[in-house]
Amino acid sequence: MFRKEHVFTALIMFLLTISAFSSVSAFGNENIVLQIDSRPSNATVIIQGINKTFKTPAVIELPSKNWVIRISSGNYTVLYNLVPPEDERFVKIVVYFGRIDLAVKGPFKNITVEYGFNSTVPTKEDEYVPPIAAPFWDEEVCGGIIMFGPKNPPMVIYKYDNKDPYYQLFLNSTPSIEEYRGRKGCKMIEMIYYFGNESAMARGFPYREASFIVPYSLLSIDSQPKNATVYIFDFHRFGEWFTPFDALVPVVMEPQRNVSLIHYDLELGNLTTTVIPYIPELHTYKISMGHNGYPFLEGWLELKPNQSYNIRVNFNILRSALTVNGKEVEMQVPKTKKTTYYLPNTTLLIINSTIALDVYIDGSYVGKTPFKDEVPSGEHDILLKFGSYVVYHKKLDIGYGGRFRLTVIPVKLLKILNVPKIRSV
């Protein structure tokens, strides 16, 4: 009885194989035979250009040319760019979804891993740039290294210490609070403007109160091996976003309408109220990571406010999640090019304050705030005074080129002058 059942089962499997094989085999003689399997089985297989869906295990005959194969199970998808091997008509593809689960950690709602496309990413060596200076962290001093970030949604990036890979993302027209390693600083908002010639402008200023202040969550992003190239919303911050690093990101759980903002208008010299008509929700983040010689990963994170998340990718395990004829897919590693750099000899220094202050640079009086001028690059002694009262006095390295923005809120001076406090709206 056992032998009859065994023969009957084998006959069914043979007929299923013939059925799958014959379903797409009418292409001609120069064909290849694909055997696609997965662990676990019953994954969905879609081949670009073929109007048919398969389930693993599947045996498929196709013309001998490049094919993009999509294999999905649950929240995981594998994209494989098949280049038929020479002198071979049989290709066995196996996907191990459990290895993807083991290799990737974090609050991902879905993940796509790409194999065989030979796409390359910039390396940390390719994008090395001389250090950019930043003001010493101070709760009464706003700003730091300010860089453009993703365009969709529009963001700028703050970095508070050149030696610390910690970044805070500011969403366009959204009241925020500067935060560096748990220490909260100035209330800041960034207004971002894009122009048709691919240029952009950001205008940031402090505010007193707002009817909505966006909460944040911390993403600690790392990989094995280190120095993987990271993209947030398909944007990579040149010279900066390589693992490991931390990114403090805004989380808006539902749209906000008619947000009131009370701030000091530096041009008019008085307090004013601005209404922001609409702030869109933002709680899913697209994260992509690549390392030359390994598969490329992209996925969507589902975030909640005021949380800390660890994002980890082990590229060595990820590479083993797909085998072709029993071997891992080989991917090309480009040669790193040595880049030469030009260091500008001036920096645009911008100093703002909520009260007009006298500005001294290296002991010389240069005017009152708001101050904006090209200053020789490097370290300078910056002194801000109100009459004989010293509001701010530090030596700052303003870096080489670009702009260095310093915004000072003289809290102690405002108390001395008995400036009334504004109530929350």
Q: Note the pLDDT tens digit of each residue in 142-190.
A: 767 788 999 999 999 999 888 899 999 999 999 999 999 999 988 999 9
- CATH code of the domain covering residue 355: 2.60.40
Residue that finishes a domain, picked among 291, 306, 325:
291
Mean local confidence (pLDDT), 211-225? 98
Mean pLDDT of 194-221: 89
Same-domain status, 275 and 385: no
Q: How far is CA 113 from CA 13, 54, 237, 375, in A?
A: 31, 19, 22, 48
Flag whether 112 is in a domain.
Answer: no
Q: Are residues 175 and 285 in the same domain?
A: yes
In a domain, 164, yes or no: yes
354 falls within a domain:
yes
312-340 mean pLDDT = 84
Q: What is the predicted pLDDT for the residue at 1?
A: 41
pLDDT reported for residue 12: 42
pLDDT band, very low/low/confident/very high, at 195 (cuts 50, 70, 90) = confident
Residue 35 located in a structural domain: no
Q: What's residue 22's pLDDT?
A: 39
Report the alpha-carbon distance of residue 299 to residue 114 in Å, rounded: 11
Which two structure tokens, joined as six digits, stand for 77? 């998808």
Angle CA 31–324–335, to nearest 5:
110
| Percentage of the residues of the chain whose pLDDT score is greater than 70 | 82
Residue 214 has pLDDT above 60, yes or no: yes
| % pLDDT > 90, the chain | 60
pTM: 0.80
Q: Are residues 286 and 350 in the same domain?
A: no
**Whether residues 230 and 153 fall in one domain:** yes
Is 211 within a domain?
A: yes
Q: Which residue has the higher pLDDT, 421 or 86?
A: 86
Residue 17 has pLDDT above 50, yes or no: no
pLDDT tens-digit readout, 332-366: 776 655 555 555 667 778 888 878 899 999 999 99
- Please give the pLDDT value at position 363: 93
pLDDT value of position 138: 63
Per the domain annotation, does 224 fall within a domain?
A: yes
pLDDT band at 405 (very low <50, low <70, confident <90, very high): confident
Edge to edge, the sheet with strand 58-63 lists: 58-63, 31-39, 90-96, 322-324, 327-328
Asked if 143 and 135 count as a contact pair (C-beta separation under 8 A), the reply is yes
Please tell me the total count of domains within the chain: 2
Quote the pLDDT of residue 415: 67
What does pLDDT average to over the chain?
86
265 exposure class (CB count in 10 Å sphere: 0-12, 13-18, 19+): exposed
Q: Which of 276, 291, 306 is the last residue of a domain?
A: 291
pLDDT computed for residue 331 by the predictor? 82
- Which of 271, 291, 311 lies at the terminal end of a domain, its last residue? 291
pLDDT at 8 (0 to 100): 43
The whole-number average pLDDT for the span 232-241 is: 95
* Residues 267, 156 share a domain: yes
Q: What confidence tier does 410 reach under pLDDT thresholds 50, 70, 90?
A: confident
> Are both 264 and 400 inside the same structural domain?
no
pLDDT at 422 over 50: no
- Is it the case that residue 244 has pLDDT exceeding 50? yes
Tens digits of per-residue pLDDT, 256-291?
Answer: 999 999 998 766 778 899 999 999 999 999 999 999
* Beta bridge mates, 382: 361, 394
- Mean of pLDDT values over 405-415: 74
Q: Are residues 189 and 265 in the same domain?
A: yes
300, part of any domain:
no
Range of the domain at 258: 141-291
Q: Does residue 149 sit in the same domain as residue 259? A: yes
The reported pLDDT for the residue numbered 136 is: 58
pLDDT reported for residue 203: 84
Q: Are residues 147 and 259 in the same domain?
A: yes
Amino acid at 119: S
DSSP annotation of 354: S
Asked if the structure places residue 96 within a domain, the reply is no
Same structural domain for residues 148 and 257? Answer: yes
Q: Is there a single domain that holds both residue 283 and residue 353?
A: no
52-79 confidence digits (pLDDT tens):
999 999 999 999 999 999 999 999 999 9
- What is the per-residue pLDDT for 11? 44
**Same structural domain, 148 and 275:** yes
**pLDDT above 90 (res 404):** no
Mean pLDDT in residue range 212-220 = 99
State yes or no: pLDDT of 321 exceeds 60.
yes
